[in-house]
Amino acid sequence: MSLDNQVWQLLGEIEQLMQEQALWSSCAPDLSVFESREPFCIDTMSPEEWLQWVFIPRMRALVEGHHPLPTRIAIAPYFEEAFSQRAENHQSLIDILHQIDRLLNKETL
């Protein structure tokens, strides 16, 4: 399976898990929250909002447009910290984020 297909599949798994864990929102946030200059929009979005409204769409756009994927990525540690108080509830989501990190970083080896 190609790297693009693997990433696409993992993004779908993230979306599905977020829906199952009631982390997926049917309403987009106000456009002003996207103007953050902080990593993960930490000052304007919750971690799950960032995944849903920033990370997943941007990664899907890269795959669909046949653009190069990032080769240095580390999103799982942020989510481990962000979900530390409820990690047992979201461990499967964190595990998939680790898979994405490993898959994309492997390309740099």
Per residue in 2-41, pLDDT tens? 999 999 999 999 999 999 999 999 999 999 999 999 989 9
Counting residues of the chain whose pLDDT is more than 70, the rounded percentage is 96
Write a three-state SS string for 60-108: HHHHHCCCCCCCCCCCHHHHHHHCHHHHHHHHHHHHHHHHHHHHHHHCC
Q: How high is the pLDDT of residue 87?
A: 62
What is the per-residue pLDDT for 86?
Answer: 76
| Mean pLDDT confidence for 68-74 | 93
CA pair distance 46, 25, nearest whole angstrom: 11
AA letter at 95? D
Q: Judge whether residue 108 has pLDDT over 70.
A: no
Q: Into which CATH architecture does domain 1-20+45-55+62-109 fall? A: Up-down Bundle (1.20)
Domain segments of the chain as ranges: 1-20+45-55+62-109
pLDDT value for 96: 96
Q: Name the percent of the chain lying above pLDDT 90.
A: 87
- Taking the C-alpha atoms of residue 83 and residue 89, their distance in angstroms, rounded to an integer, is 9
DSSP state of 56: H
In this prediction, residue 109 carries a pLDDT of 40
